[in-house]
Structure 1
Amino acid sequence: MKTILVTGGVGYIGSHTVVALQENGYKVVILDNLCNSKAITLSNIQKISSQAPIFYQGDIRDRPMLRDIFKNHPIDGVIHFAGLKAVGESQSEPLKYYDNNVVGSITLLEEMIKAKVDTFVFSSSATVYGEPGATQYQEGMPTTPINVYGRTKLMVEEILRDGAKANPGLRVACLRYFNPVGAHLSGLIGENPVGTPNNLMPYIGQIALGILPKLKVFGSDYPTPDGTGLRDYIHVHDLAQGHLLALQYLEDHPGALTVNLGTGKPYSVLEMISAFEKVSGKSIPYDLVERRSGDLAEYYANSDLAKTVLGWEAKHGIERMCEDTWRFYRQLDSAQS
Structure 2
Amino acid sequence: MSILVTGGAGYIGSHTCVELLTEGYDVIIVDNFSNSGPDTVNRIEEITSKKVKTYDINLLDSSRLETVFAENNIEAVIHFAGLKAVGESVEKPLHYYETNIGSTIQLCKTMEKYGVYKLVFSSSATVYGLPEQVPIEENAPLKAVNPYGNTKIIIEDMLRDLATSNNNWRISLLRYFNPIGAHKSGLIGEEPSGIPNNLMPYITQVAAGVREQLSVFGDDYPTKDGTCIRDYIHVVDLALGHLQALKKIETYTGVQAYNLGTGTGYSVLEVVDAFEKATGITIPKKIGPRRPGDAPVSYADPTKARTELQWEAKRTLIEMCEDSWRWQVHRKAQLESK
Which TM bucket (shorter chain)? over 0.9
Whole-angstrom distance in 1 between the partners of 2:188 and 2:260: 21
Aligned partner of 1:207 in structure 2 is 206
Q: What corresponds to 1:152 in structure 2?
A: 151
Distance in 2 separating the partners of 1:150 and 1:229 = 19
- The residue that corresponds to 2:117 in the other structure is 118
Q: CA deviation at 1:252?
A: 2.3
Offset, 1:336: 1.9
Deviation at residue 119 of structure 1 after TM alignment: 0.3
Aligned twin of 2:252 = 253
Counterpart of 2:306, as a letter, is K
**Mind listing any 5+ residue stretches in structure 1 that lack a counterpart?**
none
Percent identical among aligned pairs is 51
- Letter of the structure 1 residue corresponding to residue 33 of structure 2: L
Give the SS at the match of 1:301: coil
Inter-partner Cα distance in structure 1 for 2:252 and 2:23 = 20
Q: Give the deviation of 1:195 after TM superposition.
A: 2.2
* Paired residues for 1:92-131 under 5 Å: 92-131=91-130
Q: How many angstroms apart in 2 are the aligned matches of 1:3 and 1:36?
A: 24
CA displacement, residues 165-195 of structure 1 (integer Å, 9 cap, x when unaligned): 1111111000001110000011110001222
Partner AA of 1:33 in structure 2: N
Asked if 1:320 corresponds to 2:319, the answer is yes
The answer for the alignment partner of 2:234 in structure 1 is 235
Structure 2 contact 131–298 (Cα < 8 Å) conserved: no
Q: Which amino acid aligns with 2:301?
A: N
SS of residue in 2 equivalent to 1:295: coil
Alignment of 1:1-337 (within 5 A): 2-337=1-336
Q: Deviations over 1:8-62 (max 9, x none)?
A: 0000000000001101111111011111112211111011111121111111111
Q: Which segment drifts farther, 303-312 or 276-285? A: 276-285
Q: State the TM-score, normalized to the length of structure 1.
A: 0.98
Residue 282 of structure 1 deviates from its aligned partner by: 1.5
| Post-superposition CA distance 1:227-281 (Å, at most 9, x none) | 1110000000010000111011112222111110100001110111111112222
Secondary structure of the 2:150 match is helix
Query: Unpaired segments of 5 or more residues in structure 2?
Result: none
Deviations 1:89-121 (A, max 9, x none): 111110000000011101111111111001000
Distance 2:178 2:16 in 1: 16
Q: How many residues align?
A: 336
Query: In 2, distance between residues paired with 1:296 and 1:194?
Result: 25
Residues 260 and 305 in structure 1, CA contact (< 8 A), matched pair in contact too: yes
Residue 259 of structure 2 aligns with an amino acid whose one-letter code is N
| 8 Å CA contact 2:130, 2:294 repeated in 1 | no
TM-score (norm 2): 0.98
Q: Is the 8 A contact 1:264 1:300 kept in 2?
A: yes
Deviation at 1:198?
1.1
Question: What are the Cα deviations for residues 263-314 of structure 1, in whole angstroms up to 9, with x where unaligned?
Answer: 0001110111111112222221110111111111111000100011100111
